[in-house]
Structure 1
Amino acid sequence: MNKAMICFLLLLSSPVIAQKQKTVDSKINHVTVFLSRAQIEREVRTQVEAGKTDLIITGLTSQLDQQSIQVAGKGNFIILGITHQQNYLSELNTPRSLRILKDSVEFFQKQLLIEQSQKEILNKEEQMLLSNQKIGGTNQNLTVAELKGMADFYRTRLGEIVIARMKHDDKIKKINERLTKVQQQIQTQNELYTRNTSEIVVSISADAPATVQLDVNYIVANAGWQPLYDLRALNTKAPVQLNYKANVYQSTGEEWKNVKLKLSTANPNQGGLKPELYAWYLDFDQPIYRGLQGKASGVRIKSAAPAMAMDKEEDAMEPPAETTADFVSTVQTSLNTVFDIALPYTVSSSNKPTLVDIRKQELKSDYLYSVAPKLDADAFLMARIVGWEELSLLPGEANVFFEGTFVTKTFIDPNNIKDTLSISLGRDKRIVVKREKLKDFSSRKAIGSKQSDSYAYAISVRNAKTEAIKIIVEDQVPVSQNTQIEVTATELNNANYTQETGKLIWEMTVQPNETRKVVYKFDVKYPKGKIIPAL
């Protein structure tokens, strides 16, 4: 036997060393929630033997973006590769709340079976009594007392059976109603948890037994947050307090339990690559427009870990209860804002959002009244807020409170706000405003082939309050959209006049029990025989 054959036989006889596999548990520690989607950060701790090992991280949502997976490790080992795979045989871990509901279904089903069985026993007994109504034999004569006794027995027992059956029917009905409600609740949650899972397989190599610590993060869909605001003003001398909140939602099937939560104003769905503008070609047959084109981009997030700043005020009175907003620090990155919540937070996988307090901020404000008597004779108290640009506000709904009472809902859109954010705080009936047409100064006269109409209006403002007020009065003169119609403002009483829109604004201070009055006049000239409906 030659040397080559001996080596071949030795190879065949030697055992094949397969790469080991180990299923490991992981825990969610940090979650960064974007406006759409979220980044999950998990931690894995385990022990491995020498050699190559595939660590299988199980129980992950199937909705994770496999291209976003990042793994970093600590320990004496080498990360050889990362793969992602779906597991269609295993479902997400059922939460305790869902397990309780399923136990309730089993309990109600047993109760339902007992009641139905009891009812069936009564039915059998009733059938037995009805089928044995023949009293005595055919040649046997019964006394009146015996007949009466048997009749009383049948009447009493059949009556008891009817009443007992009605009670069982009532219990069955109530059990079925409760069972239906629980099953509906289970069906709602099952949509979140009866899903296949996915797994991340991390291949590592170690020269000796080692302790492995892995930090795994990835992006998931079906998660995000929406801004919500509370604007509170105690009175017209106090600053406006802005409560910045977030409705955080996720239906990934994973439970974010006691995790460090960050809210980012970034939106990975929008992509991060600048679109390229290509040539716009024209032809006689058909113009072709090749517009803005871009490529989808991945987002890799590197979160900062700033120190938390907390402001505490000493007060002789008992301090108000703290909220999550007292434990949030704001980090301004190069492109976005991140709100880092120091307290552990739990966000359940649900169809309902979780409300999170982000921050509280007092805003410098001044208060004045505003009225447009052509549309509404009531004066509205307005808070004008400055310095809002530093708050990184996003478009969202706002609840407005004044003097501890809910006033209205409004919508804050920072993209359409200039220097001042104006918030309406409600009507004040103590400001009496009246607008009337002055007939003595309104007339119509003919000038050649045209006619000229003169209009005059007076607006009076009476302050029935015990303190002076600032008020803005708004009105308008018409704007012509036809060259044959000429509009001339003849008297504006020192109003701020915007000719393009015809808007008139007077800003005045009215003392207590004082009445201020403004008058404005305008002429409209147009061809005879024409009718202008708006006048």
Structure 2
Amino acid sequence: MKIKFTIAAVVLTTVGLWAQKPIYTKANLESARVYYDGAELTQNAEVKLPKGMSEVVITNISNELKENTIKVGSTDEVTVMSVQFSNAYIEEYDNVNNSPLTKPLRDSIAAVELELEKITNSINADLKTIQLLENSSDSYDKESSLKISSVAEMAKWVDYYGQKYKNLQNGIYLKKKEKEIIEAKWNDLKSKLSLGSDKSEKISQGKLIVQIMNAQEGKVPFKVNYATSRAQWIPSYDLRIEKVGEPVKMMYKAQVVQTSGIDWRNVKLSLTSGNINQNNTMPNWYNWFIQYEPLVNNDKTDEIVISTGYGSSRRRGSGAVSRINASELRVGGVADVSSMIEGKAAGVTVTNVSAPQVSYEERKSIAEYTNIHESELNVTFDIAIPYSILSNGKRHSVDLNNFELNGDYKYYSAPKLDKNAYLVTEISDYSKHNLLPGEANVIYDGMNIGKTRLSTENTEEKLRLNIGKDPRISLERTLISDKSGTKTLSSKKEQNFVYEITIKNNKKETIAIQVEDQFPISTDNSIEVILSEISDAEVDQEKGLLKWNLKLKAGETKKLRFGYQIRYNKDRMLIGI
């Protein structure tokens, strides 16, 4: 059966214009395509319609959707005249007490309330009877000589009173227990009265009110498609390393979360890189004006040259010079080692780490059901097996792919920032696996040692994966005070800095290690930076980096020395050195 789609503009049609009662049908979720900032949902429904005009209320639609993305499709015999979205249809257009959506539930509540009232009345009647019996007993005690003429009559009356009292008390006990059961049933039904509170399945309050012109009576299928911002996914990875030198086993995963108001149960799931709200507007040229910067009165303000690692900026202050906080320093091109993982690289015990619940081999078979499609704009992962993701805001892990990556293992250190050596592996052919930026769990020698991050958006030829720090490699960076200091020349001031880096390999095998440090960069012609000593380092003048690639045998120690001079006008001040 051919289904045609209608892109429905949201209209302000008043339901009161339609004489007949609306026809209700529930939409079932068929598929979900999830983006970084939203999802595209496709649902289907079927309802029996008469010939002519009808108003159909499609329930179980997302609570929040982008109204300009709504598309409603049906057969050629059906004309969709208008579509309106609402997440409060009952309150706006219908009598809440007589709503077809809640009437069966309200009827059940009314029946239970009738049972509750009957058993309450029965308990009260028994209590009244007991009260009458007790009053009769009191009257007998006061006038026993007048009412009872023989011992036999008294015994008969006592037997009757005792048996009746016992039966009433037992009956009240049983009725109270039955009342508790009825009250629990009543409370359960009342909790389900609000749409979507049924614990067995999440039903949203979102609805589409569709005005239909039907050519013939019969069952009519509908397909609904729209976008919602109440879902997202982010890439994540598991990196498994058995031992140094072996390939990295990578499990490519997705963390999916949604609060659309609908529980996604056994749906076809697709994950697409990129955003659903992309700007598709072509750029326009505007006139490009240049002009002089307004003159500044130098008597009131001083221009300050600020050196912050890789670059300098100019700030204007009013006479006073303040220091730059260390947190403002940024080192371009170097991994932010201070934010890397706390874990185990070799022989370090880690506590409070839970092992994965699914083995790598089992998860590998799950990932085989994923088809990957790469276009010019994004990457899409189509998952062949149905997935269930509840609308509870919790992350759901979805396995996408797995493979092995061959890399070159080495240690990396930046002792100016962190006196630790980090084991890393550099991978050359990573682009063919469609890797996206994301967080990665590092599992070394069967133990989860922490987290790192894959930065695949860079333009570097190699992808550097951080495995963790190794405490058996010692590093020390010290300023050589007798070779450092400040000199004043005729019109210049010269500052000398000389550092020594000591690296010791306490491991039982030879290691390869890359050591990096930096020197300041000047963007002002009056400030000169001169490297005085580099110990055969590779120099990157553009980034201000020094790099040493070393091999250290077991127990070996090496020392590196480098230094630089800064010359600048003696009547000025430098910040950031």
State the shift of 1:222 in Å.
1.8
Match of 2:413 in 1: 371
Residue 370 of structure 1 contacts residue 381 of structure 1 at CA under 8 Å; is this kept in 2?
yes
Cα 1:220/1:362, change in 2 over 3 Å: same
State the shift of 1:397 in Å.
3.1
Partner Cα separation in structure 1 for residue 250 and residue 548 of structure 2: 29
Match of 2:375 in 1: 333
- The residue identity in structure 1 corresponding to 2:60 is L
Match of 1:235 in 2: 243
Partner Cα separation in structure 2 for residue 275 and residue 442 of structure 1: 54
Cα 1:193/1:429, change in 2 over 3 Å: same
Partner Cα separation in structure 2 for residue 280 and residue 445 of structure 1: 47
Partner Cα separation in structure 1 for residue 572 and residue 21 of structure 2: 94
State the shift of 1:328 in Å.
1.4
Partner Cα separation in structure 2 for residue 452 and residue 280 of structure 1: 42
Could you state the TM-score of these two structures normalised by the residue count of structure 1?
A: 0.62
Partner Cα separation in structure 1 for residue 22 and residue 255 of structure 2: 41
| Structure 1 residues 387-420: Cα deviation after superposition (integer angstroms, max 9, x where no partner) | 3333444443333333333334344443345222
| Further displaced range: 274-283 or 238-247 | 274-283
Residue 400 of structure 1 contacts residue 407 of structure 1 at CA under 8 Å; is this kept in 2?
yes
| Structure 1 residues 282-325: Cα deviation after superposition (integer angstroms, max 9, x where no partner) | 99xxxxxxxxxxxxxxxxxxxxxxxxxxxxxxxxx995455643
Query: Is 2:265 aligned against 1:267?
Result: no
2:473 to 431, 438, 447: 431
Partner Cα separation in structure 2 for residue 92 and residue 492 of structure 1: 83
Query: Is 2:427 aligned against 1:385?
Result: yes
| Structure 1 residues 25-70: Cα deviation after superposition (integer angstroms, max 9, x where no partner) | 5432212122223222223456667x54748352132534444333
Match of 2:399 in 1: 357
Query: Is 2:253 aligned against 1:245?
Result: yes
State the shift of 1:369 in Å.
0.7
Cα 1:231/1:73, change in 2 over 3 Å: same
Partner Cα separation in structure 2 for residue 282 and residue 484 of structure 1: 26
| Structure 1 residues 69-127: Cα deviation after superposition (integer angstroms, max 9, x where no partner) | 334556xx523225323433489989xxxx9xxx9xx9xxx9xxx9xx9xxx9xxxxxx
Query: Is 2:214 aligned against 1:204?
Result: yes
2:541 to 499, 516, 522: 499
- The residue identity in structure 1 corresponding to 2:389 is V
State the shift of 1:494 in Å.
1.6
Match of 1:60 in 2: 60
Match of 1:268, SS?
coil
- The residue identity in structure 1 corresponding to 2:467 is L
State the shift of 1:347 in Å.
1.6
State the shift of 1:193 in Å.
5.5
Structure 2 residue ranges without an equivalent (≥5): 1-18, 128-186, 292-358
RMSD over equivalenced CA pairs, Å? 5.0
| Structure 1 residues 163-185: Cα deviation after superposition (integer angstroms, max 9, x where no partner) | xxxxxxxxxxxxxxxx9xxx9xx
Match of 1:519, SS?
strand
How many pairs were matched up? 413
Query: Is 2:234 aligned against 1:226?
Result: yes
State the shift of 1:496 in Å.
0.9
| Structure 1 residues 473-513: Cα deviation after superposition (integer angstroms, max 9, x where no partner) | 11233445665554322332221112344321111222233
Match of 1:274, SS?
coil
Partner Cα separation in structure 2 for residue 530 and residue 279 of structure 1: 39
Residue 26 of structure 1 contacts residue 57 of structure 1 at CA under 8 Å; is this kept in 2?
no
Match of 1:38 in 2: 39
Match of 1:70 in 2: 71
Could you state the TM-score of these two structures normalised by the residue count of structure 2?
A: 0.58
Structure 1 residue ranges without an equivalent (≥5): 1-17, 122-178, 284-316
Residue 60 of structure 2 contacts residue 203 of structure 2 at CA under 8 Å; is this kept in 1?
no
Cα 1:439/1:273, change in 2 over 3 Å: closer
Match of 1:15 in 2: none
Residue 30 of structure 1 contacts residue 260 of structure 1 at CA under 8 Å; is this kept in 2?
yes
State the shift of 1:223 in Å.
2.3
1:468 to 510, 520, 531: 510
State the shift of 1:428 in Å.
1.5
| Structure 1 residues 221-273: Cα deviation after superposition (integer angstroms, max 9, x where no partner) | 42222333333333221222333332322222222211111112242322433
| Structure 1 residues 446-495: Cα deviation after superposition (integer angstroms, max 9, x where no partner) | 76666656554333333232322111111233445665554322332221
State the shift of 1:189 in Å.
6.5
**Percentage identity across paired residues of the two chains:** 30
Query: Is 2:516 aligned against 1:508?
Result: no
| Structure 1 residues 188-217: Cα deviation after superposition (integer angstroms, max 9, x where no partner) | 9699867353344554324xx766544332
Residue 324 of structure 1 contacts residue 341 of structure 1 at CA under 8 Å; is this kept in 2?
no
State the shift of 1:422 in Å.
1.9
- The residue identity in structure 2 corresponding to 1:79 is V
